[in-house]
Amino acid sequence: MEEISEVRSSHGRDLIRNARGESADLFAGTWNKVLRDFAKVSSLPGVGSPGETCLRAVAALMAPSLLVPEPVRVRPPWASAPQVSALRDEAKMMLRESGYINNNKMNSACGPVAERLAYAVDLAAYVAEVVGVKVKQPHAANYIGYWEAGQSLEIHLDSMKFSDINILLCVDRESSREGQGSSTVFVTPAGFKSEYCTPGEALIFDGTCLPHGRTPIGDGETVTLINFGFHAL
Ligand SMILES: [Fe+2]
């Protein structure tokens, strides 16, 4: 803790981004406790409420350190319908066979379909083209499944150890409430911003300094995603 507060207070915003290793986990973990105290994704606080005001204050504190000012929603040209179908099939197999529960959702490693995509497409160049930030090729990727009613992700910051920027691509969605189901939610200095993605749509965002989460899955709903993590150059 001492290390983190020293970094933040004495060196300013640039060193927030330089937290690595144990410091990166402490930085994210400390803020995540605070964020969870302010709000639950199952009942997000209303505009002007104490919880929402506090969350906006945290977002404002982090905003100067953002590499990507706000989440960008895209339909990547490399996420063609056949590519997304292949990723969906692999995600379902991997999550069923080797998935594990992590923070109220399923996670699994990726397989050859995702690996071939990462070799065939210059994903780092795509990030640079869309958000103007130079990144290394993705060093991590995983499948994420929200397959049971109530599964969700509380508002949090990612550890900088994991990535600086994410591409979160929706590869499958089943819903009886078309357009009104579970969404990715971000906290910005202006308030909550929800993004409802369908298969083939992706969000590019700075998960380390932009608080984010997912609202709960409803009955009969599933969402399956692949996340690519990038470190800035
Ligand atoms: Fe995250």
- Cα 84 to middle of ligand 1, angstroms: 21
Quickly state the pLDDT bin for 197 (edges 50, 70, 90).
very high
CA end-to-end span of the chain, whole Å? 27
pLDDT tens per residue, range 36-47? 888 999 999 999
User: Is the domain defined by 1-233 classed in CATH 2.60.120.620?
Assistant: yes
| pLDDT tens digits, one per residue of 88-126 | 999 999 999 999 999 999 999 999 999 999 999 999 999
Q: How far is the CA of 64 from the centre of ligand 1 (A)?
A: 19
Q: What is the pLDDT of residue 162?
A: 81
Query: Is the Cβ–Cβ distance between 124 and 228 less than 8 Å?
Result: no
The pLDDT of residue 118 is 93
| Predicted pLDDT at 3 | 42
| pLDDT of 159 | 85
Strand, coil or helix: 29: helix
Our CA angle for 148, 150, 152, nearest 5°, is 95
3-state secondary structure (DSSP) of residue 213: strand
Residue type, 110: C
- pLDDT score of 16: 67
Q: In the numeric block, which tokens belong to residue 22?
A: 């144990």
How far is ligand 1, taken at its centre, from the CA of residue 153, in Å?
A: 8
Distance between Cα 18 and ligand 1 center (Å): 18
User: What CA–CA distance (Å, rounded) separates 227 from 213?
Assistant: 14
Distance from the alpha carbon of residue 166 to the mean position of ligand 1, in angstroms? 9
pLDDT of residue 30: 81
Domain spans of the chain?
Answer: 1-233
Task: From 125, 128, 105, select the one nearest 182 (Cα to Cα).
Answer: 105
Mean pLDDT of 52-72: 92
Distance 125 CA to ligand 1 centre (A): 22
- 177-201 mean pLDDT: 92
Looking at residue 18, what is its pLDDT? Answer: 67
Considering the entire predicted model, what is its pTM?
Answer: 0.89
**What's the pLDDT score for residue 116?**
95
pLDDT tens profile 135-187: 999 988 999 999 999 999 999 999 887 889 999 999 999 987 776 799 999 99
Question: What confidence category does residue 1 fall into, taking pLDDT thresholds of 50, 70 and 90?
Answer: very low
* pLDDT at 224 > cutoff 80: yes
Please give the distance, rounded to the nearest whole angstrom, from the Cα atom of residue 86 to the centre of ligand 1. 24
Judged by DSSP in three states, 106 sits in strand
Contact between 143 and 224 (Cβ < 8 Å): yes
Residue 156 Cα to ligand 1 midpoint, Å, equals 6
- pLDDT value at position 19? 66
pLDDT of residue 9: 36
Per the model's pLDDT, the better-predicted residue between 28 and 6 turns out to be 28
User: Per residue in 2-26, pLDDT tens?
Assistant: 343 333 333 344 556 666 667 777 7
CA of residue 92 to ligand 1 center, whole Å: 20
